[in-house]
Each structure stands twice: as C-alpha cells, then as structure tokens.
A = this chain, B = another copy of it.
Amino acid sequence: MEDLKEIGKKAKKAASLLGKLGVNDKNNALLCVADALTANAGRILTANAMDTENAVQNHMNPGLIDRLRLDEKRIGQMAEGIRQVVKLEDPVGEVLSMKKRPNGLLIGVKRVPLGVIGIIYESRPNVTADAFALCFKTGNAVILRGGSDAIHSNQEIVKVINEALAGCGIDYAALQLITDTNREIVKELLRMNEYVDVIIPRGGAGLIKMVVENSTVPVIETGTGNCHVFVDESADFDMALDIIENAKTQRIGVCNACESLVVHKNIAKEFIPLLVDRLKQKNVEIRGDEMAQEISGAVMPAVEEDWGKEYLDYILSCRIVDTIDEAIAHINRYNTGHSEAIITKDYNNAQKFLDEIDAACVYVNASTRFTDGFEFGFGAEIGISTQKLHARGPMGLKELTTTKYIIYGNGQIRE
C-alpha cells in the first residue's frame, strides 16, 4: 500500500504554506491550472481513453461510462469551472467580529482554512479538478481518492495540475491523489486524525455510509436525498403539477430530485388523475398507498420500503394524508434531511411547514431541484450537506473554512 502517513505529513505541511498565500497568488495559480488543463487536453484524453476502454471491457453500464468519459468540451468545462472559482471572493482572512471585553481583551473571530481536506468520490474525473479548485481557493490542502475506474484520468489531471502549480512556485503538496486502488487504504485515510481535518464523501449512499461508519476524522455527510413534495388542500393544481414534473423528471439521477409525493386527502380524488396524466408523458411509475390506488388504476402498490427510497429513477411514491400534521410527521419520519416542498395557498400552512420540517432546505411553492450551490448564488458547490454540524445544505467556499479566535491583550491574567 501507498505510504498514507507520508501523504498526510506532506499535506499538513502544504496546508501551513497555503494558509499564508494571498488571494492574488491563489488566483494566478488557478488561472495557470485552467490554462494547463486545456493545453494538455490531449494527455488527459489519452489517459481517459484507457479508463473508458477498461470500463467497456468490464461491462460498466452506459450511464456510468458517460460520466467517466471526457472530451475536449468537458475538459474545457473543467477549466471554465476553475476560472469561475477565481472570480469568487476569498472568504479566508475575514474578521467576522471583534469585541472588547471589560478586562480590555480584544477578542476577534477570524475565518481561516480548515487545513487538510480528504475527498472521496466515485468515477467522475471532473470532480478531481473541481474539488481541487475549491479547496485551493480556500487555502486548504487536499487529498483525493477517486474511483478506481477513473484512475488513469485522475492521475493525469492531477499531474497536469501539479505541473502548473509548480510553474507558479507552488512546489509543495497542495493536491495529492491516492493512486493505490486497494479499498483498505480508504479506511486508513478515514482514521488519520493527526493529518486530516475533515473528510467529505461525494457519491452514492453506499460510499457515504461506508465513510460515516468508518471515519474517526470528522465527516461532512453529503448527498442522499429522499425529497418530498406535499400538495396541500389549497394548492394551485397547475403549479403543483409543474413543480412535481420538474422536481421528479428534470434530472432523475440527482439528490435534489423529488422521490415521494404527499397529497392532502381533500383534493386527492381530483388531483391524482391529473397527476397520473401529466407524469404518463414522462413514463413515471407512481407507487401509492391504498387510497391512491383506489383513485387511479394507474397507481401501483407501494410497500413500506418505498417511503424511504431514493429511486434516482422514473418512479415516484405517493401517500395520501388526512392533515398537514400527518404530512409533516410522514416527511420527518422518512426524509433524509435534504429538501422538502409544500405547494399551498394557505399562509399558516406554509409557515407551519417551514417551521416544523426537519431538513436542510424547506420550500414553499418551488421545486426541490433548486438545492444547489450555484442556484443559491454561492458560485460554487463542493456538495450538499445532509447533516446538522458545520454545514447544512449546499456548501460553497465558506463551508470549506473554519474560524479561530484572535485575542489581543496587554498583560491580562485571570483572577
């Protein structure tokens, strides 16, 4: 196995140097990296061809091969993404507050990099450049562990980035890739508390579960979304249908897609047939409770496990409830703390839903698909946190920082 401790040491050393870099130095380096990626697209594509050929031989499913495949355009998008990060304000160094205590101590709160960030992801080589740029802009050293299917692509991207960084005088380990494909090495990374400050997994439910269960390093849990839309009895039907169609079908494989519908019983008889008609056009299978099945023969039976399921497919579960309280209780029981929406014209119900739903993002009369760092105006996104510590919801640059107290005294001692 690779010497992970050595990687950790180098990253910690790099973090202390990156923390001192000014924003101009960081932006210049990022621009060099962006240029290098397009200039060396040929090298990256050659490496990527090895990965995609292996994937074809290993009968990887076509959707995953598509995620894995790079072309000139996609490399151009990677570079463009980095140029966008250059334009974002650097959150590091801001003093958020500074107050004088009665004893004369001046206590300030300053935003600083987290230090060393470990990112574990699956076979999307674009994440490699993307995650690097966000961590670098915030002065963090990063250790990446990508999916083994993308190993050649990732190695070449990291090589190109590191050559560009060295050209800007950054000849220390700001970005390292774990190339050992042994899975045990991930578990070792997850226990390197001495060198790693935070682990961010990006990927499917299985990866995230493995990280949460094995990590002693603090984790920011991202991802899994069992998002609901609740159609209240006062909902505008057209709005509800538009939002549900958008949230379910605009992009099915994403964590902010709607997976489950909750409908107030007073409108169910009228609304469900309209819903069936609308979703038929997109070939969405609806799996409902008994009442929903009675209302429309097109509704298939749902079983208990449907309520908690992130389908990532053209399937939607549907439950009919007697009251908004029952809707809230159902959603709070089965959701993953991601994004939930109510469609209503009722003021009190809107406020009640916003107050009582336990999730990162709670919507009134809008699609859950907006839960996204770009849509929220952050200009970037490293993931969507579904936990409550540190960051909740879409994470931009600020979420890759921490604070420290800086205290100015003139000889104070404690009585």
Contact = CB atoms under 8 A, between A and B. Distances in A.
A414 B107 CA distance: 44
A79 interface: no
A94 to B, nearest CB: 13
Interface string A165-182: 000000000000000000
Given A358-B16, A389-B390, A389-B402, A407 B370 contact: yes
Contacts of A220: 389
Interface stretch (A41-49, A235-243, A261-269, A313-321): A235-243
B402 A388 contact: yes
Given A388-B115, A407-B361, A413 B105 contact: no
A385 to B, nearest CB: 10
A107 B396 CA distance: 15
Contacts of A350: 408
Interface string A94-110: 00000101000101000
A370 B387 CA distance: 32
A382 interface: no
A220 B405 CA distance: 17
A16 B414 CA distance: 41
Interface string A392-413: 1100000000111111111111
A327 to B, nearest CB: 14
A356 B20 contact: yes
> Chain A at the B interface: mostly helix, strand, loop or mixed?
mixed
Nearest to A215: B216
A366 B411 CA distance: 5
Given A389-B389, A409-B366, A213 B212 contact: no
Interface hub of A356, A376, A392, A407 (most chain B Cβ within 10 A): A407
26 contacts: A19-B355, A20-B356, A101-B376, A101-B377, A107-B376, A197-B387, A197-B388, A198-B388, A218-B218, A236-B411, A242-B411, A242-B413, A246-B414, A247-B413, A250-B413, A360-B404, A361-B404, A361-B407, A362-B407, A363-B407, A364-B408, A364-B409, A369-B413, A369-B414, A389-B390, A392-B404
